[in-house]
A and B are shown apart, each in its own frame.
Chain A
């Protein structure tokens, strides 16, 4: 299938008063139309910066220092700001963690939704716009849509606001939706509703989704492909079942072992030691080195990606062919001793 989005070797840096931070370092991935791809990582892993780089919406002190972002074959990094503005919202749209900060408190919901249509589609008539908006609100499961249009953001609950944001982001039939922690600010019961809505709409409208989250539980039920990021780098990328049932990178493994499972009894969590590395310091070793229980001498150098299965890659020396051979050999030796 043709790729909708291809990110190649993306590097994004930020200048801070303590030095330059490589928030995203050599990130590559691709997405086909209609696919839901999750980017999972902890705070500071660079998952949000990756998505903001795709839209070229990074903060003043940040620069995209390298790489390509091909959207339908065209490099977004080469577009002018004006061209980008036409793409944002129309072809690629985004929803954020906190819907309140994206809605203007002094305008009604209806006005703000209409504004989006007006900006990108000037030929549309008022009645057509209204019809489209009401249709969209129905689609995101908002009852009495006509009345909602007259309400102000503060009159709605968090879950409702997030629905409005989803409606707004899908108004123009974008090909790609970036959802940055869409349910983190919501309660569990509401989270389930919103996640169901996103996956359902993606299927119906054939919209590709980049789902950015720290919650491996949310990912399990929604995504087809999962990218695990750590300290600005991709450490593992695999189809969802492959990643959960055959995780390869020690970080992914550790993460899954440190998660509580509601459906299991009598188990103990295995905590991961330490905390995420300081990105201000230039690291020569594997970024997970300090916390990795399987660290080896060669891990003092940063590992490249190793292909594990089709579509499954991991950045860890343990999947180097030489290591696999060495492991086999030692195993055989042990067996013969026994």
Chain B
């Protein structure tokens, strides 16, 4: 170091314009981009996503492409095993099982999505009000929630279905109306921790109306757990619908996966594929949604 010689040239001042003390070095990255990146690294999540995409495609195009109709009965081809003409075999009325499963996918997925959306709306609103207002509002609303929660969901669903009567709309509504408790709890917890943030105070000082404040600051910042609980609500709704069908409380005219499995149960000893194929689809779809839910949680909330 001692040998180092410096000359007058080295001592010329560098003007402040060449030095940028306030520059931002970090690469521009948005929360969304980061989250998508993290999600794509999760193998199970990606597999789940692919399975869900395939299911949706099958549900939309399957029945169109298939040469059979879901309620076309061909008594000559009763109770067949898998073959080229009927890859999943036929049922007791000679109906092609594959097209029935594809059609069932439509019903099951729609039930899942709509019920999840209904419970999402109720749950987010309920949890938001509890968490934001706190105090006695929170105490009363949480006690109500706990009372509802103390009776099993299945019991409500059965009761409501008996009262409202069996129809597809009622299935969506009933599952949605009973499935929001978990979402409400998650949202409340999240909002409780968010509401003391100073940006909420800043919004209040700026006279931002409360509903707008809730949507702008609370929903957007609690979006991670909300999305996760939404993803996890879909499979539980699918399962609940299948369960209803299995109990015989579903809508008979529609071959949802639950109905197919329920029918298949009668022939479990003779033609087991009638039970196996629908159950397989139920399983794999629920699994896929759960994978996606887990991957979303990891991607959106790197702390956990």
Same complex origin of A and B: yes
Q: Which residues of A line the B interface, CB within 8 A?
A: 273-275, 277-278, 280-281, 289-300, 304, 317, 320, 322-323, 326
Most A CB within 10 A of own CB, among B6, B7, B20: B6
Chain B: which residue is nearest A294 at the CB level? B13
A281, A295, A323, A326: the one within 8 Å of B14 (CB): A295
What is the CA–CA distance of A293 and B21 in the complex, to the nearest angstrom?
A: 10
How extensive is the interface on chain B, given as a class?
20 to 34
B12 touches A297 (CB 8 A): yes
A295 touches B13 (CB 8 A): yes
- Interface of B, secondary structure class, is loop
A-side contacts of B19, CB under 8 Å: 289-292, 295
A274 touches B25 (CB 8 A): no
A-B contacts, 21 of them at CB < 8 A, read A274-B22, A277-B25, A278-B26, A280-B25, A290-B23, A292-B19, A293-B16, A295-B14, A296-B10, A296-B11, A296-B12, A297-B9, A297-B14, A298-B10, A298-B11, A317-B6, A317-B10, A322-B6, A322-B7, A323-B11, A326-B8
A322 touches B5 (CB 8 A): yes
B21 touches A326 (CB 8 A): no
B-side contacts of A275, CB under 8 Å: 21-22
What is the CA–CA distance of A280 and B6 in the complex, to the nearest angstrom?
A: 30
B-side contacts of A292, CB under 8 Å: 19
Known: A273-B21, A298-B11, A304-B1. 6 other contacts (CB 8 A): A274-B22, A278-B25, A290-B23, A296-B14, A297-B14, A323-B11
* A290-B20, A297-B9 known; A281+B25 contact, CB < 8 A: yes
Chain A: which residue is nearest B6 at the CB level? A322
Could you tell me the distance in whole angstroms from the C-beta of B165 to the nearest C-beta in chain A?
Answer: 55
Could you tell me the distance in whole angstroms from the C-beta of B41 to the nearest C-beta in chain A?
Answer: 11
What is the CA–CA distance of A249 and B156 in the complex, to the nearest angstrom?
A: 74
How many contacts A-B (CB < 8 Å)? 54
What is the CA–CA distance of A289 and B14 in the complex, to the nearest angstrom?
A: 9
Chain A: which residue is nearest B5 at the CB level? A322
Chain B: which residue is nearest A277 at the CB level? B25
**5 cross-chain pairs, A with B, having the tightest CB-CB distances, nearest first:** A274-B21, A298-B10, A322-B6, A278-B25, A273-B21
Chain A: which residue is nearest B10 at the CB level? A298
A-side contacts of B1, CB under 8 Å: 304
Could you tell me the distance in whole angstroms from the C-beta of B284 to the nearest C-beta in chain A?
Answer: 33
A291 touches B21 (CB 8 A): yes
B-side contacts of A323, CB under 8 Å: 6, 11
Chain B: which residue is nearest A305 at the CB level? B1
B-side contacts of A299, CB under 8 Å: 14
Could you tell me the distance in whole angstroms from the C-beta of B282 to the nearest C-beta in chain A?
Answer: 38
Could you tell me the distance in whole angstroms from the C-beta of A21 to the nearest C-beta in chain B?
Answer: 13
Could you tell me the distance in whole angstroms from the C-beta of A301 to the nearest C-beta in chain B?
Answer: 9
What is the CA–CA distance of A322 and B20 in the complex, to the nearest angstrom?
A: 27
A298 touches B25 (CB 8 A): no
A-side contacts of B22, CB under 8 Å: 273-275
In chain B, residues 222-265, which have Cβ atoms closer than 8 Å to a Cβ of chain A?
none
A-side contacts of B14, CB under 8 Å: 289, 295-297, 299-300
What is the CA–CA distance of A296 and B11 in the complex, to the nearest angstrom?
A: 5
What is the CA–CA distance of A317 and B4 in the complex, to the nearest angstrom?
A: 11
What is the CA–CA distance of A296 and B9 in the complex, to the nearest angstrom?
A: 9
Could you tell me the distance in whole angstroms from the C-beta of A152 to the nearest C-beta in chain B?
Answer: 27
What is the CA–CA distance of A228 and B167 in the complex, to the nearest angstrom?
A: 76
What is the CA–CA distance of A320 and B4 in the complex, to the nearest angstrom?
A: 9
A-side contacts of B11, CB under 8 Å: 296-298, 323, 326
**What string of 1s and 0s marks CB contacts (under 8 Å) between B9-51 and chain A?**
1111110100111110110000000000000000000000000
A297 touches B10 (CB 8 A): yes
What is the CA–CA distance of A278 and B26 in the complex, to the nearest angstrom?
A: 8
What is the CA–CA distance of A251 and B71 in the complex, to the nearest angstrom?
A: 83
B-side contacts of A280, CB under 8 Å: 25
What is the CA–CA distance of A278 and B20 in the complex, to the nearest angstrom?
A: 13
Most B CB within 10 A of own CB, among A277, A293, A297, A300: A297
What is the CA–CA distance of A296 and B5 in the complex, to the nearest angstrom?
A: 15
Could you tell me the distance in whole angstroms from the C-beta of B8 to the nearest C-beta in chain A?
Answer: 6
